[in-house]
Amino acid sequence: MWFILIGVAMLVMNFAGIGPVGRWTWADHWWALLLPFLCAVVWWAWVDMSGLTQRRAMEKEKAKTLARRQKDLHALGLQDPKNRKR
């Protein structure tokens, strides 16, 4: 996401003529203006192929399940078996 934001900021600066990026011409610096978008595509491809996206989704789902279970046990008046007094 950061690469997309940087690329959009660079395009806005170029079209508005702000700073050194505003002085770049498309004929000379087209690669620099499109590089953040290329980096975003490469990053997304690597993250998907490495399984990082799926692992993060699974961890998030597991955390939600555990939180829901703890909430339900607390609502029922049951404690965690480890903390229960005998």
Domain that holds residue 59: 51-86
pLDDT at 14: 93
Judge if 40 and 60 occupy the same domain: no
Tokens for 11? 């395009």
Task: Write out pLDDT tens, residues 10-58.
Answer: 999 999 999 999 898 988 999 999 999 999 999 999 988 888 888 888 9
Q: What is the pLDDT of residue 82?
A: 67
Prediction pTM value: 0.63
> Which residue is associated with the tokens 């590089």?
35
Domain identity same for 6 and 45: yes
pLDDT, tens digit, for every residue of 59-83? Answer: 999 999 999 998 888 888 877 666 6
Question: Tokens 């690469």 belong to which residue?
Answer: 3
Instruction: Mark whether 9 and 24 lie in a shared domain.
Output: yes
Shared domain check, 4 and 41: yes
CA 42, 43, 47, 53 dihedral sign is negative
